[in-house]
Structure 1
Amino acid sequence: MKKLFRKIAIIGTLSGMLFGLGGCAGDLLDTSPSYSFSSSNVWTSPILARAAVMGVYNELYEKFSKNYDSPSIGIPFDAWSSVMDIDMNWKNNCFVISGSCTPSNGNVGNHYKYYYTIVYRANDVINNIDNVPEMEDNEKARLKAECKFLRAWAYYHLNVLWRGVPIYTENVESSEATKARSSEAEVWEQVLSDLTDCINEPNLPGKYAQGNSSYGRITKGAAYAFRGYAYQFMGDYAKALVDFEAIEGLGYSLYSPSNGVKGNRDFFQLFKPANEQCDEMIFSIQCVETSGMGNPRGINYGNRCTGGSAWNNYLPNPAFVEMYECADGSEFDWEKYCPGWHSMTPLARVAFFLRDGLQSGKGEWGTTEATSNYQALYNNMVSYGADMSKYLDQGNEARIRQAYEDRDPRLMQSIITPYSTYDGNQAGVGNHTWTLRWPYILDAGEPYDIRTDTNSKFYYLWRKYVTENDECTTRWVYSEDIILCRYAEILLRRAECLNELGRTSEAVAFVNKVRQRVGHVLLNDQAYPATVVSGQEDMRQRIRKEFYVELGGEDSMFFNELRWGTWYDRKFKDHSSGQVGELNTNGLMQIWGETTYKHLSVGEQIKIWPIPAKEREMNSNLTQNPGWQD
């Protein structure tokens, strides 16, 4: 299994020689790879030609799997969305939310260069592979189709972020890369053209079976998905729907071995290595337990009790967590579980999240000095501002835990919530079960609290993508694949298309397929009034919420928020009404709504990124996007 990306690891040095993985010095549009072999030699050898194709695939890994040592490129897209925020220590790595986005910002240029590197490498294959001798025509056609997909994938992202960029489908030298920007519509047409060629290529399979040596390569399933994405971004819901419907006929389906039995853990198990090649996966980056080839999200989404000692760089936003419905389909409201919540300040609400026994000294910490230490913690919370009249010395933990247990099952299968347990692995302790408690006391012995990088703060932590026990005992080598597209998202996109086309009643069935998998109450269940859909706009908001709770943390939501036109508002604006109990949704927050830092915006022009200043210096034909000054 995973032979494709083992091949990438094996030929990493070779593709580095072929394509100059470090890039050309001072050149953002990386069109001049430093060949150790001449171009003519590359395309006279099937082995070297296949290595060139692997060099295009390798760039996917550079973006999604190396975010621990390349934060300018590797920050998860969903950290830019309203789903999650970046830990205080890392936030300055993200120009999008730190107020540092300018045309001359190096990270803006790095992203531009990254996507054009894929474009150039793909062009080199597309325009030369037909010349390779001793290679079967069907293999040439398949490899060309794979590279057309990867070129389309790059242009898709360039167009979403910059809304019109130069189109290069030919091989050009750096000095010749002087095209003007094509319009947004023209770039979409290029994306559609490449993906249509993939779909029409008979040598490109619809799907690879689990364990196939080619698993991880591009398929018709991925091409249909991303062509549908493009149509949807363009607002052509009818054409998008046709593409999404075609995927079902290729053999993809939801992973649901328990068939939706209430209380099942199918959603949680979906993100485990054992199921990474199940029929739900349409496009994923394969990771292996090899240094430099692992999935770092198991570490960066984790905590200090993960994989020896991991990090919690990316933290679920409390407003996102509050989107998960109650078990009866009604909207979550803290007042139901914590009376007085809406009239309290965030600091006062801390009382609801405190561990049992602080007042009596009868908590989990079973040491001789426990009573005095608990009393000290109690006094600290009083000084902090907690309204201790709301505190239950015995039962505080059970009360707050109920607020999470009485919810859509995907919540606790995606997020480590207060007073839930986590089976981790920690240096010096090994496999053990820890609990997320507040205030933190001790993790290396009783009471085995989850330790984080931020023990003086109390945040939600990810469970999705995070390793358990000894699944990952060496950091950065977790084998779980990084999912870029799965069938559940296609079902939700089908629902969205149907609803936008006025076929709301049909859309309900596709949302219900996703909800049924986790055993959550279905829409339009007459026994639960909150589930009854009242019309197209109501269904539109329900579908969008379903996207969040199903796909949060998987790098889909940033692009969906841009597509819906909701991103800037959700990320940067404070939606509180000014009343005491309202939650500020802008910035990294502790669970009760206390802000650690606010996101900083340079202005609404950031909805469309600036063309890098250095690119415009090298190419005078490039015009700048509105609102940006070089």
Structure 2
Amino acid sequence: MKKILMILTMALAATSCMDILDVAPEDQIASENMWTTEELADKGMAGLYFPFYATQLSSTQLRRADGLNRQGIEAMSFATDYYSNNYPVELLSLATKPANDFQVWYEWKFCYTIIHACNDAIANLHKADMSANKLARYQCEARFLRAWAYNRLNMLYQGVPVYLEPINNEDCTRGQSSVDEVWQVILDDLTYCINNPDFPNNTLNENYGRPSKGAAYALRGMVYMWKKQYKEAGNDFKEVETCGYGLWTGEYADFFKYENEKDKEMIFSLQFSEETGYCDNIQQMTGARDTYDGWTEIKPSADFVDYYKNADGSDFKWSEVDGLQDWDLLTPKQREIFFCRDGLESMSSQKNALIKRVGEDIYQKYYLNSGNEARIKKAYDSRDPRLQQTVVTPYVPVDCYKPNYAGDANQIGKQLRWPLKEQGTNGGDFWLDKRTSAFYCYRKYNEFEKGRLISRSRCHTDWPLIRYTDVLLQYAEALAQTDQLGEAIRLVNKVRTRAHMPALTEGGSGPCAVNGNEDMLERIRYERRVEFCLEGINFFDEVRWGTYKETKFQGKDINGGKSWWGELVEYNWYYTDYMWPWTAPISETQKNPNLTKRSGWAY
């Protein structure tokens, strides 16, 4: 599919009810002519994927106007803090949530662009002269993509207008269908796909990356999870493995490398290539200046890093780290003292600035001129191994590469230190782009060494829209919800074994003993949070579970971007009870008076 993306701008002629596409542009194939031959039908089907791809790869801004909104949805998650000087996440940073917010508008536009293109395909594919089984496969593929888009809309807005046939912009005047009515539309499309004998079980070897029956089972099971129909969800999730998909068996971190992107774990993916026009720029979003000159705008939140459990499965607490017993007696600002680099006694400017921040008494009582780094490093070394595979933590040497710097060679053994001294080369400070305080950096989807990428905007690791671990853990959740505790534990232990975490046991005592279904559900939530960070999944999980305020906001009305030691140092985030579900965007309500506005939102 990657090779045919060159023709997508010609192939996509469907309207979106957003006035963003001309219904008969001079440089595109008009809808009535799109499907008249098999060749045009092939191009038209390829065009259904065009909205997923970003073209503005010089930008990391939230308001980038095309492609899957990866950074925006990830920024809303518990795991991630997104910071941009130009466009902060207004759904978080504004106390009153605006109906003209970019994400509220963009997700609506993005999904309906896909939906109306799919409607056009479904209505017209029969015009092309192609084999019956290929026609059936294409019909399933279009219905799957339509279901995927409606699913995303319903997760965000909880009820949207339903259009299942080609329609002109001026005729998009329907009000929102109920959330259950939209779920049923999705279920109907996915059931159509599952029941069609010409829809392949998987596309691991042929038509790679296209939807399959296994993907339809997975997505239908996920819809049932939202509907709390856990028995039906479990039945569907069980079928995914019979369709040929399975768990990645290598190291957790290695799955996110381009060498392994076609593993049986990958059920439905957004495919990338390093060739111009097919690539991505996630490196620029997540990377450091020392990793391909990234901008560190998507970075792990301090609350999320603190959430990782100890290696024995017990909860992590800073006050239980050797030498940090007074943690709870200090203010967040004063706790900076524990994270400082060794040798400040000979760094007068950094020492004096630190004392101004924390106080002379705190400095004299807690700072170790030799051993401060080793003390704090132990707090990260003794944790769930996925922490070190996902996040660059303080005082851990890393090899890294910045183009045209340090002789254009790999830099060896740099470390994330605080306070910063100088970037340096071998053994120097690991240099982020955001350096106003001490921030973490993702390892996941962040390439470190020379030769891995052509540039920060030429990334080519495929992006999982559905992967098997997601299915497996939701399957475990469905089992726990239906009193099948032992089987739920068995499935979760597959994921924990891969992560080198101790197995859960049913009953008893100790950090890995599961006592009851509610305990099991919380353990499943833990696995999902640490497994799917940076994949645009967690926000949907948290709102489905009703735990968003508990995690993203730490149970408070105000939270925000924090330093390693938990001090609020970037813009604040403001929680409101109405911030989810989202309201219809103001631009749509102005055009369509039949749309209902949600209370609380600023119109």
Task: State the TM-score, normalized to the length of structure 1.
Answer: 0.88
Distance 1:65 1:183, change over 3 A: farther
Are 1:319 and 1:585, in contact at CA under 8 Å, matched by a contact in 2?
Answer: no
- Find the partner of 1:409 among 380, 385, 391: 385
Q: Which residue of 1 aligns with 2:134?
A: 139
- Separation (CA, whole Å) in 1 of partners of 2:193 and 2:561: 42
Q: Which residue of 2 aligns with 1:218?
A: 211
Distance 1:11 1:70, change over 3 A: farther
- Separation (CA, whole Å) in 2 of partners of 1:590 and 1:472: 30
Q: Which residue of 1 aligns with 2:80?
A: 84
Q: Which residue of 1 aligns with 2:279?
A: 294
5+ residue gaps, structure 2, are none
- Separation (CA, whole Å) in 1 of partners of 2:124 and 2:152: 25
- Separation (CA, whole Å) in 2 of partners of 1:33 and 1:573: 50
Are 1:152 and 1:194, in contact at CA under 8 Å, matched by a contact in 2?
Answer: yes
Q: Which residue of 2 aligns with 1:552?
A: 533
Deviations 1:158-188 (A, max 9, x none): 1111111111110111122222221111100
Pairing 1:189–2:220 present: no
Which amino acid in structure 2 is aligned with residue 514 of structure 1?
Answer: V
Which amino acid in structure 1 is aligned with residue 243 of structure 2?
Answer: L
- Find the partner of 1:502 among 480, 483, 503: 483
- Separation (CA, whole Å) in 2 of partners of 1:225 and 1:65: 31
Are 1:6 and 1:288, in contact at CA under 8 Å, matched by a contact in 2?
Answer: no
Distance 1:6 1:170, change over 3 A: same
Distance 1:610 1:59, change over 3 A: same
Pairing 1:478–2:462 present: no
SS of the counterpart of 2:599? coil
Q: Which residue of 2 aligns with 1:103?
A: 99
**Structure 1 residue 77 displacement after superposition:** 1.6
Are 1:292 and 1:477, in contact at CA under 8 Å, matched by a contact in 2?
Answer: no
- Find the partner of 2:328 among 339, 342, 367: 342
Distance 1:292 1:344, change over 3 A: farther
Question: Superposition pairs for residues 215-614 of structure 1, below 5 Å?
Answer: 215-257=208-250, 266-307=251-292, 309-337=293-321, 338-359=324-345, 361=346, 374-385=347-358, 387-388=362-363, 389-427=365-403, 428-429=405-406, 430-433=409-412, 434-445=414-425, 447-470=427-450, 471-524=452-505, 529-572=510-553, 574-575=555-556, 586-601=559-574, 603-614=576-587
Are 1:67 and 1:74, in contact at CA under 8 Å, matched by a contact in 2?
Answer: no
- Separation (CA, whole Å) in 2 of partners of 1:456 and 1:629: 32
Pairing 1:41–2:33 present: yes
Are 1:31 and 1:173, in contact at CA under 8 Å, matched by a contact in 2?
Answer: no
Pairing 1:60–2:52 present: yes
Are 2:57 and 2:457, in contact at CA under 8 Å, matched by a contact in 1?
Answer: no
SS of the counterpart of 1:48? helix
Distance 1:33 1:277, change over 3 A: farther
- Separation (CA, whole Å) in 2 of partners of 1:31 and 1:186: 30
5+ residue gaps, structure 1, are 258-265, 362-373, 576-583
Task: State the TM-score, normalized to the length of structure 2.
Answer: 0.92
- Separation (CA, whole Å) in 2 of partners of 1:518 and 1:93: 32
**Structure 1 residue 108 displacement after superposition:** 2.2
Distance 1:141 1:97, change over 3 A: farther
- Separation (CA, whole Å) in 1 of partners of 2:508 and 2:341: 36
Are 2:14 and 2:120, in contact at CA under 8 Å, matched by a contact in 1?
Answer: no
Which amino acid in structure 2 is aligned with residue 382 of structure 1?
Answer: I
Deviations 1:111-160 (A, max 9, x none): 21111100000111111001112x22211111111111110111111111
Which amino acid in structure 1 is aligned with residue 301 of structure 2?
Answer: N
Deviations 1:477-526 (A, max 9, x none): 11111112211121111111111111222211111110001211111289
SS of the counterpart of 2:401? strand
- Separation (CA, whole Å) in 2 of partners of 1:355 and 1:601: 33
Pairing 1:615–2:595 present: no
Are 1:156 and 1:191, in contact at CA under 8 Å, matched by a contact in 2?
Answer: yes
Distance 1:63 1:608, change over 3 A: farther
Q: Which residue of 2 aligns with 1:121?
A: 117
- Separation (CA, whole Å) in 1 of partners of 2:37 and 2:58: 30
The percent of aligned pairs where both chains have the same amino acid is 35
